[in-house]
A = this chain, B = another copy of it.
Amino acid sequence: MPEHAPSRLERRKARTRAALIRAAQALIAEGKTAVPILEITQAADVGMGSFYNHFETKEQLYQAAVEDALDTHGALLDELTTGLDDPAQVFAQSFRLTGRLHRRHPELSKVLLHYGLELATSESGLAPRARRDIEAAVRAGRFTVGDTELAMVTIAGAALGLGHLLHHQPERDDAAATDRVTEDLLRMLGLTAAEAHEICSRPLPALDTTATGPGTAA
């Protein structure tokens, strides 16, 4: 991989690929995963045949779309939690930010929701980051966790449930709901009720609307 200067042709290829991924994410977000390929390419403003230049099957495209969405969100979380020294707060902040994401970037959120629990046990995506953060907190004596793997699926399930609820109850205050669930989870992880509440009351960094599109990671 001699890190070629991505010459015009490659950039064009990348652009059509990105367009397909974007369209796929939009369709997944609408729950329309069972659409003809032609419809996807039209949504991407790309010729029908172009699809097969990049993917062999619809499922393959969807997989790439989800992977892209996960990378985007994970990178954002990492960026926004650097510099925090309390591992418990890193966890809390990540979770709270993810909760807010459901409203700020509904498309991305819905993509995550659609693939749901598959992602919780997947070895790529958010799972490794979550495991890293939880184990760090355990080592630091902040969390009391009997089984990291079980805690992770519980937390992942809670996150998905929360997102699902937020999408179905648009009138509910997303920040308040997310903070409460985070607080509940911190208690579950061994923090005292008082401390859990305190951590979830701390201010959060702003969640910019610089939604990174596909093409950033691939």
State the A residues within 8 Å of B (CB). Answer: 34, 113, 116-118, 120-121, 146-147, 149-151, 153-154, 156-162, 164-165, 168, 177, 180-181, 183-185, 187-188, 190, 193
Contacts and interface: CB of A to CB of B under 8 A. Distances in A.
Contact of A150 (B116, B151, B160, B184): B184
Copies assembled: 2
A154 B150 contact: no
A120 B161 contact: yes
7 contacts: A147-B177, A150-B177, A151-B184, A153-B161, A154-B157, A154-B184, A157-B159
Give the one of A146, A153, A177 with max B CB within 10 A. Answer: A153
B116 A165 contact: no
A209 to B, nearest CB: 26
Nearest to A165: B153
